[in-house]
Structure 1
């Protein structure tokens, strides 16, 4: 079995794949100071709950946009699962061209979405990922990553409104029943929800116009189902897209070897 770790700015997702399907997918808030031991207590408790033997996990892959979290996640794999994790980076074999001025600057999550989306859905396509930032990843017919758009995430925008305007409260995101708000909170909710729907539809239209061709639009990220209620632009919602990208990346690249210092020590007399 393989442990797959997707470390984002807001949440870290860990999942176990047994070669035929996902045995479990779990989330924990991102904290760069959380130690490998703390991760292990959390993860092993969930593994036991799902009747998964940790000894059956023999490989691991990590994708992260939070460099400070990588140290402890790598130690989790080494100290507790006795395997060296593959780390997603632009210098691995992705199976597609990264057509960016500086490929090393592209977040691993965007490349992972590209890999999985093209393999599953074909191209050309746009992947809209509702994360800490809302990203639009553009993939051509051959699967190459040709660029995209990075916009502030929904929760960042909500927090910015609250912090910058003294009389505006912090609100929860939801789909308003009407566009015109009759008081402050409904007006804010309408601005966030319908504003993002308008941004998504407008940017996708501009991408299609710039490239001069129709493109599939795939949504992923925690808020994708909510915003799909307000638009028909998404062909499908795939909540596990980044995890699938990590799994596919690990299949394409050699499994790293664990250094002797970290290898499982014999037990018994």
Structure 2
């Protein structure tokens, strides 16, 4: 069985593959202070809750944008699962050709999402990940990553609004029924959610215009992505498991190495 892991700035998400089937997934808050034993305990608990034993895991692959916890997490996998994980990085085959100014600066998460989108849905495509930051990435019909746009995530946007204005409260990120809010909370929700829908649609249109192809497929993922994807016709597919699929695809390209 294959363990796929995405270490993000806000959450660590883990998926378990039995062959080509994703059978379960789990989300853990990202914290720098955890030890390898703490991570190991979480991993074993997740595997057991899925109906399997640690000994059933034969391989693991990790995408990480938080280098500070890589050592502890890798150590936990080696100690508790007796598996050496493969990290997305230099020397790893991804099937995606990177065509940006500084290829080594591309985040592993964006590369994994690009692979997942291209090999699952084809290209050219726009890949949107609604995470801590929201990324809009372009992959050509040849599987070339040619760049994209990055904006503050919807969570950061909402948190900034409440933390920087003394009289504005923290809010649940949900779409209100109307854009003309009758109280502070619904007016904030309207501004954040409807504003983010507008931003998303504008960037998609500008990318298609600049790329010169209005038929580009738009694939989105990310924890809060469903809220936005459900409110616009410009997003063709919302796939919550896109990152897991990308990790599995990349693992398959490297498993014989």
**TM-score relative to the length of structure 1:** 0.92
Given that residues 44 and 80 in structure 2 are in contact (C-alpha distance below 8 angstroms), is that contact kept between their aligned partners in structure 1?
Answer: no
| Residue of structure 1 in register with 2:248 after alignment | 247
| Residue of structure 2 in register with 1:27 after alignment | 27
- The change in CA–CA distance for 1:41 and 1:255 in structure 2 (over 3 A counts) is farther
- The change in CA–CA distance for 1:146 and 1:234 in structure 2 (over 3 A counts) is same
| Residue of structure 1 in register with 2:165 after alignment | 165
Q: Kindly indicate whether structure 1 or structure 2 has the higher relative contact order, using CA contacts under 8 Å at least 6 residues apart.
A: 1
1:71-220 equivalent positions in 2, closer than 5 A:
71-214=71-214, 215-220=216-221
1:4 & 1:58 partners in 2: Cα distance? Answer: 11
Deviation digits for residues 40-80 of structure 1, max 9, x if unmatched? 22221222222112111111111001111111110011111
1:95 & 1:117 partners in 2: Cα distance? Answer: 12
31-40 or 199-208, larger mean C-alpha shift: 31-40
Deviation digits for residues 122-172 of structure 1, max 9, x if unmatched? 011101111000110111111111100100011111111111111111111
2:184 & 2:90 partners in 1: Cα distance? Answer: 45
- The change in CA–CA distance for 1:162 and 1:26 in structure 2 (over 3 A counts) is same
Deviation digits for residues 190-223 of structure 1, max 9, x if unmatched? 1100000000000000000001112111110011
Query: 1:183 Cα deviation (Å)?
Result: 2.1
Given that residues 90 and 103 in structure 1 are in contact (C-alpha distance below 8 angstroms), is that contact kept between their aligned partners in structure 2?
Answer: no
RMSD: 1.3
Return structure 1 stretches of 4+ with deviation > 2 angstroms. Answer: none
Query: 1:255 Cα deviation (Å)?
Result: 6.1
**TM-score relative to the length of structure 2:** 0.96
Query: 1:6 Cα deviation (Å)?
Result: 0.6
Q: Secondary structure at the match of 1:210?
A: helix
Deviation digits for residues 77-113 of structure 1, max 9, x if unmatched? 1111111111001442222210011111111010001
Gaps of 5+ in 1: 257-269
Given that residues 40 and 77 in structure 2 are in contact (C-alpha distance below 8 angstroms), is that contact kept between their aligned partners in structure 1?
Answer: no
| Structure number with bigger Rg | 1
Gaps of 5+ in 2: none
